[in-house]
């Protein structure tokens, strides 16, 4: 129903796409680009459950929190383990985007990218949270779909296309045709698991205990899935588990590649398995269009080359691969009439994608 107040506020309202990632939350505002890119972390006071900090500020506290405060990632495994916290996070990021752009009353249209494994109840929670944060209309989209749109794949065509979105907590693989997902897989092996692999490896080989953030730094600096043109080394600092004292060890990119081989192997397997379940006509298309890699994990050196070699298909990393989902979600609002069908809505409350 037409509402004069909404119409007036609509003049100042934003169209925003949100990537509620397991590792990072991004907010894309139409006409402005990515305005927020912060870790999906929330710091909470244990007893009162009061939210103390969200985003970058909360991540800073990780590993340094005094007793009584916990820093958590509510979406870590690609499922929403903490409803209220996820809602607080969404609310915070929507309001912050408006504040940063000096828009006084948030009445945006919002598309939120959600992991494809989430339940109806979880969808509902995100949807309600967006409305509670002031959204005039809220829509949900599965992340691989948003990633594909953000990467510019021709998902509405009959020609098949494929995305592998490697995030922090989950890797999602999907094959698209005619605006729908034909085959998809989601596994809980992605960037975090790679960090864990590195921690285990240096612990076993060198008795050196390193933290998650150090492991991530090593992965980004010298991690790879394919031999590098020039192999590198890096100094790791941590604690020797035998002596209990601070220690440092130099590791090579060859060793780190070996450490990562388990996780990388699992990701390659899930890609092959998805291809295995893909109808032959679409496989023929994919041999031309190739496999598009998205998400932060796709930036692992040599991954595209490795995927290509193992699948016998072209593989490429989407330009600006970490922002694909947020940009894709935002793009849906620009072409809502065409892209309506790619959205998903929680079950109760009527047909797909109708704004409330």
For ligand ADP, the closer CB: 19 or 285:
19
Q: What's the min distance (Å) between Cβ of 285 and Mg ion?
A: 25
Q: Which of 300, 307, 313, 317 binds ligand ADP (CB under 6 A)?
A: 300
141 is an interface residue for ligand ADP by CB under 6 A: no
Which does residue 322 touch among ligand ADP, Mg ion, none (CB within 5 to 8 A, set by kind)? ligand ADP
328 is an interface residue for ligand ADP by CB under 6 A: no
Which does residue 144 touch among ligand ADP, Mg ion, none (CB within 5 to 8 A, set by kind)? none
Binding to Mg ion (CB under 5 A) within 274-313 occurs at 295
Binding to ligand ADP (CB under 6 A) within 183-202 occurs at 191-192
Which does residue 247 touch among ligand ADP, Mg ion, none (CB within 5 to 8 A, set by kind)? none
Which of 164, 266, 286, 196 minimizes the C-alpha distance to 225? 266
Stretch that binds ligand ADP, among 8-16, 252-260, 293-301, 307-315 (CB under 6 A): 293-301
167 is an interface residue for Mg ion by CB under 5 A: yes
Q: Which of 17, 21, 144, 191 binds Mg ion (CB under 5 A)?
A: 21
116 is an interface residue for ligand ADP by CB under 6 A: no
Q: What's the min distance (Å) between Cβ of 23 and ligand ADP?
A: 3
Stretch that binds ligand ADP, among 133-141, 219-227, 260-268, 345-353 (CB under 6 A): 219-227
Instruction: Indicate the Cα dihedral angle 94, 173, 147, 217, nearest 10°.
Output: 70
Q: What's the min distance (Å) between Cβ of 325 and Mg ion?
A: 5
For ligand ADP, the closer CB: 71 or 299:
299
Binding to ligand ADP (CB under 6 A) within 25-84 occurs at none
Footprint on this chain of ligand ADP (rule: CB under 6 A): 21-24, 167-169, 191-192, 216, 219-220, 223, 295-297, 299-300, 322
Footprint on this chain of Mg ion (rule: CB under 5 A): 21, 167, 295
């Amino acid at each position: 129903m037409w509402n004069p107040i909404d119409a007036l506020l609509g003049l100042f309202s934003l169209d925003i796409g949100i990537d509620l990632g397991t590792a990072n939350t991004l907010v894309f505002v139409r006409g402005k680009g990515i305005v927020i890119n912060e870790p999906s972390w929330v710091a909470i006071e244990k007893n009162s459950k009061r939210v103390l900090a969200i985003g970058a500020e909360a991540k800073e506290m990780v590993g340094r929190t005094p007793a009584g405060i916990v820093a958590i990632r509510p979406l870590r495994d690609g499922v929403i383990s903490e409803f209220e916290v996820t809602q607080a996070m969404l609310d915070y990021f929507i309001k912050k985007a408006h504040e940063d752009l000096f828009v006084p009353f948030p009445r945006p249209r919002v598309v939120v990218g959600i992991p494809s494994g989430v339940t109806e109840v979880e969808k509902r929670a995100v949807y309600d949270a967006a409305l509670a944060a002031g959204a005039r209309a809220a829509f949900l989209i599965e992340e691989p779909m948003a990633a594909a749109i953000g990467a510019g794949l021709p998902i509405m065509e009959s020609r098949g296309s494929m995305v592998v979105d490697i995030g922090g907590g989950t890797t999602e693989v999907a094959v698209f045709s005619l605006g729908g997902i034909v085959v998809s897989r989601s596994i809980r092996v992605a960037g975090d698991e790679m960090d864990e692999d590195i921690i285990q490896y240096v612990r076993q080989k060198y008795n050196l205990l390193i933290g998650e953030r150090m492991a991530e730094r090593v992965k980004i600096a010298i991690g790879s899935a394919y031999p590098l043109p020039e192999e590198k080394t890096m100094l790791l600092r941590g604690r020797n588990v035998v002596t209990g004292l601070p220690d440092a060890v130099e590791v090579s990119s060859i060793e780190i590649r070996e450490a990562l081989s388990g996780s990388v192997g699992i990701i390659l397997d899930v890609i092959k398995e998805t291809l295995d379940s893909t109808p032959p006509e679409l496989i023929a298309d994919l041999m031309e269009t190739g496999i598009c890699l998205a998400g932060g994990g796709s930036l692992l050196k040599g991954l595209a080359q490795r995927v290509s070699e193992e699948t016998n298909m072209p593989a490429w990393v989407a330009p600006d691969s970490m922002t694909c989902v947020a940009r894709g979600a935002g793009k849906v609002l620009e072409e809502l009439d065409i892209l309506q069908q790619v959205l998903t809505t929680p079950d109760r409350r009527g047909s797909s994608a109708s704004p409330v």
